[in-house]
Amino acid sequence: MAKIKVAIIGSGNIGTDLMIKIMRQSSVLEMAAMVGVDPQSEGLARARRLGVFATDEGLEGLRRAPIYGEIGLVFDATSARAHMHHAKILDADNKIAIDLTPAAIGPYVVPAVNLDLHPGARNLNMVTCGGQATIPIVAAVAAVAPVRYGEIVASIASKSAGPGTRANIDEFTETTARAIERVGGAALGKALIILNPAEPPVMMRDTVYCLADTDDDAAVRASIERMVATVQSYVPGYRLKQDVQFERIRHNDPVRLPGQESPSTGLKVSVFLEVEGAAHYLPAYAGNLDIMTSAARAAAERIVSLDQGRA
């Protein structure tokens, strides 16, 4: 299979980790360019040491470079605001964009759930780290029963939250909540993020709560376990921290969901996850960043395989 040349905009931790993943692991993606705006960026310096074209003049610097014409796909690992600007340019230049920010210009994509539903899309949004970790679980529950409500709590090490993550917290909660509904299949979604300052830094932990219209906890458990195995195919450090927990909410003790007047009953499903990073570039505790770069690489490789299959 022929390789497609790719560029990464954003030479910070996420962009650098993604570059290393592509160079070490991908048989269909060729790392062609790294783009930043800081001349002292360690990511740009590392790219140059690895023989990758690098520019500190942003997207315009890349567009002026001869290599730009050979690039078919661009990853954006900057910020939601920056991607709003980049997306228009990349679309006009006929480049596929994979967005690792919460800008949500293109359709939400979680590789384990819905990647093949957007053939031909020119801009794919990878939701958020919390979304990549938890939406597969909501979708697994929704695959066997209607989900009235899905709530996720993503807890990450404070040290793994760089300036971009901190600047995008509002977008994180909004984008993740909407993706819980649109991709996960919940009627109503809510998302929270916690930056844990513990020392030594802790692994990424995610909690998923669903209220489902079913009494078949065995079917829910089996669906979740299958989904965990699917995510592990591209994020090996993704795992259940303990067995799936169930609680039956009955008519004599219903719960009230946000924005709903009538009380609800059903099966409360509680899932506790841990995401350990592969430590290609980032520490193992930075699973929140690793799951984003792993999901982005998986999405890009699938796009390439689908395009070449249609050729």
Q: What is the CATH number of the domain that holds 95?
A: 3.40.50.720
Whether residues 277 and 148 share a domain: the answer is yes
Whether 129 is catalytic: yes
Number of domains in the chain: 2
Whether residues 262 and 220 share a domain: the answer is yes
Whether residues 193 and 209 share a domain: the answer is yes
Whether residues 139 and 54 share a domain: the answer is no
**Whose structure tokens read 């697994």?**
140
Whether residues 240 and 303 share a domain: the answer is no
What's the pLDDT tens digit per position in 190-218?
999 999 999 999 999 999 999 999 999 99
Q: Which of 133-147, 161-175, 222-236 has the lowest mean pLDDT?
A: 161-175
Q: What is the pLDDT of residue 307?
A: 74
What's the average model confidence in pLDDT over 139-167? Answer: 94
Q: What is the pLDDT of residue 141?
A: 98
Q: What pTM was computed for the model?
A: 0.95
Using CA atoms, how far apart are residues 296 and 110, in angstroms rounded to an integer?
9
Q: What is the pLDDT of residue 144?
A: 98
Whether residues 34 and 146 share a domain: the answer is no
Q: What angle do CA 172, 176, 182 make, to 5 degrees?
A: 150
Whether residues 155 and 47 share a domain: the answer is no
**Which residues form the domain of 148?**
129-285
Alpha-carbon distances of 253 from 73, 199, 266, 270, 287, rounded to whole Å:
52, 40, 11, 18, 37
Using a 10 angstrom Cβ sphere, with 0-12 exposed, 13-18 middle and 19 or more buried, the burial of residue 264 is middle
Percentage above 90 pLDDT, the chain: 88
Whether residues 57 and 177 share a domain: the answer is no
Supply φ then ψ for residue 93, to 5 degrees: -90, 5
Asked if the model's pLDDT at residue 74 lies above 60, the reply is yes
Q: What is the CATH number of the domain that holds 143?
A: 3.30.360.10
Q: What is the pLDDT of residue 1?
A: 62
Which position among 129, 135, 154, 161 bears the catalytic label?
A: 129
Whether residues 115 and 187 share a domain: the answer is no
Whether residues 93 and 140 share a domain: the answer is no
What's the pLDDT tens digit per position in 235-279?
999 999 999 999 999 999 999 988 788 899 999 999 999 999 999
Using a 10 angstrom Cβ sphere, with 0-12 exposed, 13-18 middle and 19 or more buried, the burial of residue 309 is exposed
Give the number of other CB atoms < 10 A from CB of residue 125. Answer: 26
Whether residues 79 and 191 share a domain: the answer is no
Asked if the model's pLDDT at residue 311 lies above 60, the reply is no
Phi-psi region of 120 (alpha: psi -120 to 50; beta: other; left: phi over 0): left
Q: What is the pLDDT of residue 310?
A: 62
What's the pLDDT tens digit per position in 23-70?
999 999 999 999 999 999 999 999 999 999 999 999 999 999 999 999
Helix (H), strand (E) at residue 86: helix 80-92
Whether residues 154 and 259 share a domain: the answer is yes
